[in-house]
């Protein structure tokens, strides 16, 4: 039974390694999610600013067209004013000319403000574009580095899965069924006993069971948590003490 216990422990060690590697493979790509979110946020802001700038440019062109048309209308009003025949017609033509001039002046002032604001927006857009390019470059570099890490983890996982399959093949089917059932219920199936206490549930075992474990003639289960138990000191001997440093020679 000692051999089966050793095999079960080896299988559990392989299972733990497989689970750790599977978790690492699953979680590694998510480590770049904050950087991806930053890039998406910056790109969204950049797209919104570009759209706003495009709308402003469309408005500016429309205003310039209106100014051009009003200048033509002003020339026409000035021509009419020169052709008037009496003071009443002159007054009306004069008011029309002044109205056109004021309208043109107001539109030009507004257009100037918008053009200045657009120039500032273009500068800000260039800066934002550089920020996006910088974050995108950082993300691409990180993804390239992460791909190497992920490939290495997947290779380790493939080796661990092969080792686990080999370990499973050596365990008797009877104990393999018990092991799989315990893994599903408890997370792990084999627990050491230290100083008479099961380390799976921290319950003190009956002295008789502790004595049975000492003989290692059978595979026993913890009466509380149901895990397969073994005396730790019998299967996992304490490491040898470190050698004392040599005394310096006189």
> Over the stretch 163-172, which tens digit does the pLDDT of each residue have?
999 999 999 9
Q: What is the mean pLDDT of residues 173-180?
A: 92
Gap between the Cα atoms of 224 and 207, Å rounded: 14
- Of residues 240 and 16, more confidently modeled: 16
Residue pLDDT, tens place only, 31-62:
999 999 999 999 998 898 888 888 888 888 88
* Backbone conformation region of residue 204, classed left if phi is above 0, alpha if psi is from -120 to 50, else beta: beta
Instruction: Check residue 74 and give its pLDDT.
Output: 83
Is 39 in the same domain as 80?
yes
Q: Is 193 contained in some domain?
A: yes
Give the domain-ending residue among 167, 191, 209.
167
Q: Is 6 contained in some domain?
A: no
> Residue 232 pLDDT > 60, yes or no?
yes
Beta-strand relationship, 228-231 and 190-194? parallel
Instruction: Check residue 57 and give its pLDDT.
Output: 84
Give the domain extent around 183. Answer: 172-235
CATH number of the domain residue 83 falls in: 1.10.287.1490
pTM to 2 decimal places:
0.62
Give the domain-ending residue among 121, 143, 167.
167
Is 42 in the same domain as 72?
yes
**Helix %, strand %, coil % for the chain, to 5?**
75, 5, 20
Provide the percentage of residues in the chain whose pLDDT is more than 90: 54
Residue pLDDT, tens place only, 185-202:
988 999 999 999 999 999
**Size of the chain, expressed as the number of residues it contains:** 250
Beta-strand relationship, 220-221 and 190-194? unpaired
Is 105 in the same domain as 205?
no
Give the domain-ending residue among 148, 167, 186.
167
């Amino acid at each position: 039974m000692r051999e089966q216990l050793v095999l079960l422990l080896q299988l559990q060690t392989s299972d733990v390694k497989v689970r750790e590697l599977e978790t690492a493979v699953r979680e590694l790509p998510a480590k770049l999610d904050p950087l991806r979110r930053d890039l998406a946020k910056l790109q969204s802001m950049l797209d919104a600013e570009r759209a706003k700038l495009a709308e402003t440019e469309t408005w500016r062109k429309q205003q310039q067209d209106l100014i051009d048309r009003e200048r033509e209308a002003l020339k026409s009003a000035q021509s009419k004013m020169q052709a008037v025949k009496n003071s009443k017609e002159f007054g009306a033509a004069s008011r029309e000319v002044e109205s056109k001039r004021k309208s043109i002046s107001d539109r030009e002032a507004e257009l100037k403000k918008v053009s200045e604001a657009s120039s500032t927006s273009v500068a800000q857009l260039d800066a934002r574009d550089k920020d996006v390019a910088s974050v995108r470059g950082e993300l691409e570099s990180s993804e390239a580095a992460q791909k190497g890490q992920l490939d290495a983890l997947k290779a380790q996982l493939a080796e661990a899965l092969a080792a686990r399959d080999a370990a499973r093949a050596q365990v008797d089917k009877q104990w393999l069924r018990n092991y799989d059932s315990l893994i599903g219920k408890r997370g792990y199936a084999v627990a050491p006993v230290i100083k008479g206490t099961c380390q799976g549930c921290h319950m003190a075992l009956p002295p008789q069971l502790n004595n049975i474990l000492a003989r290692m003639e059978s595979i026993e289960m913890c009466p509380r948590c149901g895990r397969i138990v073994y005396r730790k000191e019998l299967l996992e001997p304490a490491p040898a003490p470190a050698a004392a440093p040599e005394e310096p020679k006189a």
